[in-house]
A and B are shown apart, each in its own frame.
Chain A
Amino acid sequence: MGERSEIGDRYETLRRRIKEELENEQNGVPTIRITMSTCARAAGAEETRKAIEDAIAAFGLSAKIIPVGCLGHCYAEPLIILDYPTTGLPPICYHSVNAGKARLIIQSYLQESDPAFEYIMGAMEENDLIPPVTTFPRFGLEERIVMTHCGRINPWDIREYIANDGYSALAAALTDLPERIIDEVEKSGLRGRGGAGFPTGRKWRLGRAQESNRKVVICNADEGDPGAYMDRTIIESNPHQLLEGIAICAYAVGADTAIIYIRAEYPLAVKTIEQAIREAKAYGFLGERILGSDFSLDVKIFQGSGAFVCGEETALIQSIEGRRGMPQHRPPYPVERGLWGYPTIVNNVKTFSYVPSIINKGAEWFQSIGTERSPGTAIFSIVGNVKHPGLVEVAMGTTLRTLIFDICGGIANKKTFKAVQIGGPSGGCLSEVFLDTPIDFDSLTQVGAMMGSGGMVVMDEDSCMVDVARYFLDFTQKESCGKCTFCRIGTKHLLDILDRITRGKGQEEDLKILEDLSRDIKQGSLCGLGKTAPNPVITSIRYFFDEYVAHVRDKRCPALKCRSLIAYYIDLERCARGCEACVGSCPVEAIFTTKGRKKAIDQSLCVKCGECMVACPKEYDAVLRVSPPELAPIIERPPMR
């Protein structure tokens, strides 16, 4: 027992020391936290950071710049949180801070003590002066467990995680019996967040029960679903929470090696987690004899090489072993015989990231959130045609309506909601009928979609559901490993037929073939990729049958999206005499001037790229689309003079 309490003491001492260290460093100096995750950088965070540094130097100020991960408000990137304690104001969050704004904010707040109200998103704490961010529906409706510290702490400095009680769950776990950890995780009802929702505790118990001189834990960060990026964000924002979860799992199941399998397309996440591993080792949370206990864990990173199918656990293992990532028949399950033949426990990034909170706050607390069969929260990336795309963490059982309309501000550009695609290529397209369905693992499966990794793409009236189904089949067809007949050849046929339909060459029999083939692929495929590949087709036929019929029977695309079935034309009533905006935008010189000095499109040259529609000034809005293309008015090109 003596050794056990020593671990706790050692952790407590460290935590106290670090807290003091950080407080001393802060010492009244203003801190500027700037989001530096991949999407923030894409939105210009590096330029913003440079501008802040320059401004601080130019005004001769002293301030500390701290990079943080992602707050989830991707539409408002880059964000900065400015804490200037001596003003008596709480930390303030500013949104969409480009270089120019950054300079102004620094000058105004740090130089002149005026917090530049016009750029404020909200205060990070309750106060009397500045409306707090919690008044935003998004902050109010979200319930954060995994993302609590995302975008608030520095992912490149382990001390900030420790100061927020980071690694306390690991310290507590190491003083407990592995079986009791598994009991707690099982009791919490945590289900795997990789998509299928297998109970995590049960998987760990199976892993623990295996007799082997070596066991391996794999963290699946091969986030391949197009439209989903929460794993990347979690790694870039709070890598230590993930490492802590992995370490607890390894201790519970008795593994000495952990591998984080991460996509090579996520270079920043790779760097972040590499640095985190180095720091965690240096502080004694990973490596040999963790926190002075008998437990040692070696954590390695393995970069995926661009194969969606490697998200499937047996394919992932093949890939680490240096083979073609082709799924293997199960059983044996990886937990029995996995990497290099050893029992292998594979869990997703999010699954591991829940574990520290469950250990710290207990199974009952976790159970109290979410629904009975899907406890806890769900993390969604909601993108597409919504006003405020981003990452959202809500209790399981939240409805789509709340997510899309309350949290993400509804549909952008005054359009109407048409569908939401959930679960990526394995998921389905749901229509507005399902907006009030509380979502969890089971309710989504029931309606033919899937939780998947939690990617949600919202589509407005301009999205064609046949085209969306075609898009996903194009994806799965390209990503099929090519091993089994149904997935290899079947998805190609689905794609060819959908392609035909979107080009106006479909027959009514094609719809029957689509349905039959989809059913067979679902039943007959070897692995999960193939078994779920037809879901986008099945759901779009089920919920948007009319659109298929319009394409096949009337050769018409109701959403005006399928290029073979539409034509662009210029409404002469609206077109402004003398305006040349569209002419320059056309890449193929298809736009000519009519006798009345207005513009018209030569249909024989038009490639239907839509650039003239973008270029046409909003006040005229003269470029229109029509389907079928024969409906476009024919205007003769005047003879060249």
Chain B
Amino acid sequence: MEVSGQHIGHGIREEEEQAISEKLPEILGEFSRERSSLLPILQRIQEAFKFLSPGAIKAVAEYLGLSGSEVYGVATFYNQFRFHPPGRHEIKICMGTACHVKGGDVILENFERRLGIKEGETTPDREYSIERVACVGCCALAPVAVVDDKVIGYMQPSKVEGLFLQFEIQRKIREGQIKTEAS
């Protein structure tokens, strides 16, 4: 049986919720306490933490004098908001008309197959997540993917491999498995 609203926030670590609640007051303080601030606040929180945690929703409700339900209801209406932490690298595949005509679904499948997850999911190691997005407005360059906020045009399966190669190298550098020249 599902408990209302409690299915959100899957996979959040306790220290993450802790860190979020520490930084929240400062973020909330940037906004006036009126209902029109609701979407801008949620956007700002997602920008800061990449998703909306249950604790953040409660804090926003408190701040604006709304009920938890109202904030939850509004947040779940909009595509933009996420309720689970995404991967380090966010991969968004454009599903606009031009991208569809030019095989955007094949690109999406490529990412899905490569990572073993479906759109809307995050890899267990939290390195990657895949999302499908409505048109990003670069139709003349279809098919298009947006990887970590960079728009990549004329997407091809071979470009997918190149991207991951680059990410894996970055990861190894990060984890100290490869030493860079500077170090």
Contact = CB atoms under 8 A, between A and B. Distances in A.
B140 A39 contact: yes
Interface string B28-56: 00000001111110110000000000000
A471 B151 contact: no
B125 interface: no
B7 interface: no
Interface in B97-125: 97-103, 106, 109-110, 113
Interface stretch (B17-25, B141-149, B172-180): B141-149
A251 interface: no
B157 interface: yes
Contacts of B135: 224-229, 265
Interface stretch (A204-212, A384-392, A443-451, A567-575): A384-392
B153 A455 contact: no
Given A227-B139, A381-B139, A383-B139, A307 B97 contact: no
Contacts of B149: 267
A77 B144 CA distance: 15
A303 B103 CA distance: 30
B5 interface: no
Contact of A390 (B77, B81, B140): B140
B19 to A, nearest CB: 24
Contacts of A264: 43, 80
Tell which of A77, A324, A424 has the most Cβ of chain B within 10 Å. Answer: A324
Contacts of B37: 322
Interface string A24-56: 000000000000001101110000000000000
Given A322-B37, A324-B77, A610-B103, A42 B98 contact: no
Contacts of B133: 265
Given A43-B153, A303-B43, A306-B134, A389 B139 contact: yes
A39 B95 contact: no
Contact of A305 (B80, B101, B144): B80
A266 interface: yes
B152 interface: yes
B137 interface: yes
B8 interface: no
A226 B109 contact: no
Nearest to B109: A609
Interface in A136-190: none
A582 interface: no
B78 A305 contact: yes
B101 A384 contact: yes
A343 interface: no
Interface string B64-81: 100000000110011111
Interface residues of A, number: 61
Contact of A389 (B137, B140, B151, B152): B140
Interface string A345-356: 000000000000
A74 B140 contact: yes
B35 A322 contact: yes
Contacts of B101: 384-385, 457, 459, 463, 468
Interface string A470-493: 011001000101000000000000
Contacts of A389: 98, 139-140
B136 interface: yes
B59 interface: no
B147 to A, nearest CB: 11
Given A320-B36, A611-B157, A226 B78 contact: no
A265 B137 contact: yes
Nearest to A266: B137
B137 A457 contact: no
B96 interface: yes
A558 to B, nearest CB: 16
Contacts of A303: 39-40, 43
Contacts of B97: 226-227, 383-384, 421, 424, 455, 457, 471-472
A71 to B, nearest CB: 12
A587 B111 CA distance: 11
Contacts of B137: 38-39, 223, 228-229, 232-233, 265-266
A609 B74 contact: no
Contact of A307 (B73, B77, B110, B139): B77
Interface string A226-240: 111100110000000
Interface in A291-314: 302-303, 305-308
Contacts of B113: 587
A233 B79 CA distance: 23
A585 interface: yes
A614 B74 CA distance: 44
A232 B135 CA distance: 12
A614 B43 CA distance: 41
Contacts of A587: 110, 113
A227 to B, nearest CB: 4
A421 B103 CA distance: 17
Contacts of B39: 302-303, 305, 319-320, 322
Tell which of B64, B98, B133 has the most Cβ of chain A within 10 Å. Answer: B98
B134 A308 contact: yes
A323 interface: yes
A265 B153 CA distance: 16
Contacts of A77: 140-141
Contacts of B141: 39, 42-43, 74, 77
B142 to A, nearest CB: 7
A42 B38 contact: no
A222 B81 CA distance: 17
B140 A305 contact: no
A72 to B, nearest CB: 10
Contact of B136 (A265, A319, A459, A610): A265
B96 A227 contact: yes
A589 interface: no
Given A226-B97, A228-B137, 12 more contacts: A227-B139, A229-B137, A229-B138, A233-B137, A265-B133, A320-B36, A321-B36, A384-B139, A421-B97, A475-B134, A481-B77, A611-B106
29 contacts: A39-B138, A39-B140, A42-B144, A42-B152, A43-B141, A43-B153, A225-B135, A226-B95, A226-B98, A226-B135, A265-B134, A265-B136, A265-B137, A302-B39, A302-B40, A305-B43, A305-B81, A321-B36, A322-B39, A322-B64, A324-B74, A324-B77, A384-B102, A384-B139, A389-B139, A424-B97, A607-B109, A609-B109, A610-B106
Interface of B: 35-40, 42-43, 64, 73-74, 77-81, 95-103, 106, 109-110, 113, 133-142, 144, 149, 151-153, 156-157
